[in-house]
Amino acid sequence: MADLMDKIKNLRSRVGNGTRTSTKGIFLSFEDGPNVLRLVGDFLEVKTHFISPVKGRKDRGLCVPDAFRGDDNLPPVVNCPDWNIDTESENAVKTYPFCKLNRMVRETLYGDSASEIADEDKKFLDLLQSQTRARTCLKWNVIDRKDPYVVEETPNGEKKVLGYKIATIGMEAWSDVEEIFNQLGFDITDEVKGVDINIIKGNNGARVAYQAQVVLAGMTVANTPLTEEEKALTPHDLKKICGKVIEPDKLVAAMHEDLQQMLDVDVKKK
């Protein structure tokens, strides 16, 4: 009995006495037009695959539509486990189905028999190469200047509190952010010397595009030191929150049948 009571006390000390909280609204969704952010701390580099259909572009995606419905639905974007989230480096051996497909397509398109590929097949393979390519993006703790609040859920209800959000910054916007770092010559995420940036989401007719600019005060860069309240905030554990990997078998089962057959052919060759 004593051992059981100790275990119960230990559990209570970890779980708390009915005062556990959880937080919603931590993922920043970029609005069309300007989005003013304050980057804080280090970023996490991740590799992702976009796998869902896109009706507007008549793009069937990599997986069947039903895979994105129901209780056990897939997200439209999945992490690539061929990228080691802990070391932020690429695994030497590609094991993920989408990376395998990408390798197979490249070997076909640029192999010895490339000249024999029919035009229609080449068009399909070019699209598949683009669809299966892992995209690089950065996950970053940010203060959203327009709406710096997240929703805290407690046993007594919900309330808005000041909190970091997690922004996903693609390489297009990152190119501009990197240039801001280089031009200013200091760490723009610094608690004291740091500055806000404006990531502008636009649409050029063919696709959504992003660009980033430093926020100015007149003709000079606007310095935005963190307030004491902002300094006291706890950053999100980016690896824990953004590092989830879906089992390959589940993804293969959700893929279009012809893509499954392509993987099956690759397995039989080995």
Per-residue pLDDT of the chain (270 residues; tens, 9 = 90+): 556 656 555 655 554 455 556 788 999 999 999 999 999 999 999 999 999 998 777 789 999 999 999 989 999 999 998 898 989 998 887 778 999 999 999 999 999 888 899 999 999 999 999 999 999 999 999 999 999 999 998 888 889 999 999 999 999 999 999 999 999 999 999 999 999 999 999 986 667 899 999 999 999 999 999 999 999 999 999 999 999 989 999 999 999 999 999 998 765 555
At 94 the pLDDT is 74
At 138 the pLDDT is 96
CB atoms within 10 A of CB 14: 7
What is the model's pTM? Answer: 0.83
At 50 the pLDDT is 94
For residues 73 and 66, is the Cβ–Cβ distance under 8 A? no
Tokens coding 180: 């801001």
H or E stretch including 84?
strand 83-84
For residues 170 and 172, give the distance between their C-alpha atoms in angstroms, rounded to a whole number.
5
At 2 the pLDDT is 55
H or E stretch including 210?
strand 208-214
Q: For residues 49, 29, 74 and 24, what is the CA-based torsion angle, rounded to 10 degrees?
A: 130
For residues 170 and 145, is the Cβ–Cβ distance under 8 A? no
For residues 179 and 156, is the Cβ–Cβ distance under 8 A? no
For residues 228 and 221, give the distance between their C-alpha atoms in angstroms, rounded to a whole number.
22
CB atoms within 10 A of CB 96: 24
H or E stretch including 35?
strand 33-50
Burial of 143 (0-12, 13-18, 19+ CB in 10 A): buried
At 8 the pLDDT is 58
> At the topology level of CATH, where does 2-269 sit?
Replication Fork Single-Stranded DNA Binding Protein (3.90.198)
H or E stretch including 262?
helix 257-269
Tokens coding 37: 């952010």
**In degrees rounded to 5, what are phi and psi of residue 235?**
-65, 150
At 211 the pLDDT is 95
Q: How many residues comprise the chain?
A: 270
